[in-house]
Structure 1
Amino acid sequence: MKIVEGFRLRNILGQATIVGEGIAQVDFNKLVTLNSSAAFLWQSVEGKEFEVSDLVDLLVNKYNITQELAETDAKEIVQRWVKVGIVK
């Protein structure tokens, strides 16, 4: 999967926020905020193809959590991203 073209992570008033930029995202009308771990994942995979397993590895290495917890968290994050249309 990959982040859809035209979405960028921005810091808006201290909050990590995904914004749609450019003509392709003119109809995007959602406000997507990310917690620190989701923002870390976004920055780590921006511009790259990735799988849930890549996110799991990133979470395990960054936060020293179990594989199982990282897998649960990564799947939830990806499901949210797909649902709002910022990842395909």
Structure 2
Amino acid sequence: MKVKDNFILKKIAGSYMVVPVRTRAADFSGIIKLSESGAFLWKLLEKGADREELIAKMLEEYDVDEATAAADIDRFIAKLREADLLE
């Protein structure tokens, strides 16, 4: 799984934002605000991480149980798919 090209993650005034660039700027109006954990997952998705890798990395990085991590990641992925941000 990977985020589509021409979206970049920026930290602006302490907040993480996904901003469309180049050709995406014309197709996608707006900015997506992410939490710190959302930005963490986004960075992994930029490298092509799959669901299992996202869960494993989330468990390493945050104090969360596997069921909660999996459910949160599934919601995050669903929102990215809904916004057409994943390949």
State TM-score, norm by structure 2: 0.88
The match for 1:49 is 48
Q: Tell me how far 1:34 sits from its aligned partner.
A: 0.3
In structure 2, distance between residues paired with 1:62 and 1:53? 14
Is the aligned partner of 1:8 residue 2:5?
no
The match for 1:77 is 76
Render the CA deviation track for 1:48-79: whole Å, top value 9, x for unaligned. Answer: 22221111111111013111011001101111
In structure 2, distance between residues paired with 1:73 and 1:59? 10
List alignment gaps of at least 5 residues for structure 2. none
State TM-score, norm by structure 1: 0.87
Q: Tell me how far 1:17 sits from its aligned partner.
A: 0.3
Render the CA deviation track for 1:14-50: whole Å, top value 9, x for unaligned. Answer: 210000111244221132100010111112332x222
Secondary structure at 1:50's aligned position in 2?
coil
Q: How many residues align?
A: 87
Q: Tell me how far 1:12 sits from its aligned partner.
A: 2.1
Structure 1 moving runs of 4+ over 4 Å:
none
Aligned-pair identity in percent equals 24
